[in-house]
Amino acid sequence: MKPRHLLVLYPLAAALSGASVTATITYYKDVLPILQTHCLSCHGANAIAPIAFGTYRETRPWAEAIEDMVATRKMPPSWGDEELRLRSENHRRLNALEISTIVSWVEQGAVAGDSHDAPPPFDFDRARQNDPSPDTLPRSPEMHSSEGSL
């Protein structure tokens, strides 16, 4: 049997046997698209956050901190009512798969991978211009005193 056939058969055999096949998660292929979608508008070059994650070289020293912040949902920041955020189209909160991807990337050693797997460069100016305004605005309950409305 040719070696390339083994590459196809091994994952199939492992799946049928119940063994798990763990794919290597890399910065360029798996993590950078998440950062571009949820983080780089603040954590990009000359952006508001003090740490930039636009390149592997910038991101790698912070891998463990990023893992902690996304696993505990401290980042990306999200304010307001949880139910309202989840209904909002424009929230930046990471979903469970995105969190799992970042956590696994760090646990696997925060590998760079092949830079040819990277998505197109992030356009910071376009992101700032197209940063959507909220699609849902929360309303505060009307405040009442015992003597009537305030």
- Give the span between the Cα atoms of 59 and 18, in whole angstroms: 35
pTM to 2 decimals?
Answer: 0.64
The CA radius of gyration of the chain, in Å to the nearest whole number, is: 21
pLDDT tens per residue, range 86-130: 554 555 678 899 999 999 999 999 999 999 999 888 776 665 554
Which amino acid type is present at position 90?
N
Does 141 sit behind a cis peptide bond, omega within 30 degrees of 0 on the bond before it?
Answer: no
